[in-house]
Amino acid sequence: MASSGIQLLGFLLSLVGVAATVAATLMVEWKKQSQGKAHRVYEGLWMSCSGNERTTCEFHEYLLKLPAEVQAARAVMLLSILLSAVALMVSTVGMKCTRFMDEKAESKSITAMIGGIMFMVSGLVTVIITSWYVKMIVQNFHSSNHLQSFEFGKAVFVSWAGGLLTMAGGTFLSCRRCSRSESPESTNSNHFLSTTKSKSNYV
C-alpha cells in the first residue's frame, strides 16, 4: 500500500510539472524590457507583446530571423512535452493502482520504472534548456547597452519549477523498490502460514 502511495505521489508531481512546462512554453514573458516608466515589451517563444495599459501581441512570423536561444528553447520544450506525454501513458500502465498487466507483475514494475526515467529525462532537458536560455540573455545584457537589452521574465521560473517537479515525480516512479510487487512465493507462504494458524485454533 505504501509503494502505491509513493507511485501516486510521483505521478501527481510529474503531472503538475508537465502542466507547468506547458504553461511556460505558452507564456509570453520569457524576455522583458522596460522602456520608460509605463511601456513594456515582452517576448516569448511564439509571440511578442508591447504596450502601456493596452498590450498588443504579434506571432513570430519568420523562424530563421529569431535568436538562436529562442529557436533552441522552442524545439527542446516541445520535445520535452512530447516525451512527458509518452511517459504519462507508460507510467499509467505500470502503476500498481491501475489494472493493466496485473498478471505480469515484474513487467508492470519495469514499465513504471521506464515511465519514471522518461519523466526524469524530460525534466532534466527542460531545466538544461531554460538555464542555457537564461545564460544567453545575461550574456547579451552585459555585452550590449542595458537600455536596449532584455532581461529574463517569469516564464523562466515557471519552466524551472516544471522541470524540477517532473524530475522529482520521475524519481519516485522509477524507484525499483516502490514499484516491485510482492512475489507469488511470499504470497503463497503467507497464505499457508495464515491457514496453519487458523487450523491450530481448533485443536
Query: How much is the mean pLDDT over the chain?
Result: 78
pLDDT class of 25 with cuts at 50, 70, 90 = very high
116: CATH: 1.20.140.150
Residue of 203 and 92 predicted with greater confidence: 92
Does residue 167 lie in a domain region?
A: yes
The domain in which residue 146 lies consists of 2-29+63-182
C-alpha cell at 183: 512475489
Does residue 46 lie in a domain region?
A: no
Domain count of the chain? 1
The pTM of the full predicted model, rounded to 2 decimals, is: 0.77
pLDDT class of 143 with cuts at 50, 70, 90 = confident
Which among 96, 94, 111 has a CA at the least distance from the CA of 181? Answer: 96
Does residue 193 lie in a domain region?
A: no
Quick one: average pLDDT of 78-101?
84
pLDDT class of 68 with cuts at 50, 70, 90 = confident
Does residue 69 lie in a domain region?
A: yes
DSSP-assigned beta bridge partners for residue 34: 40
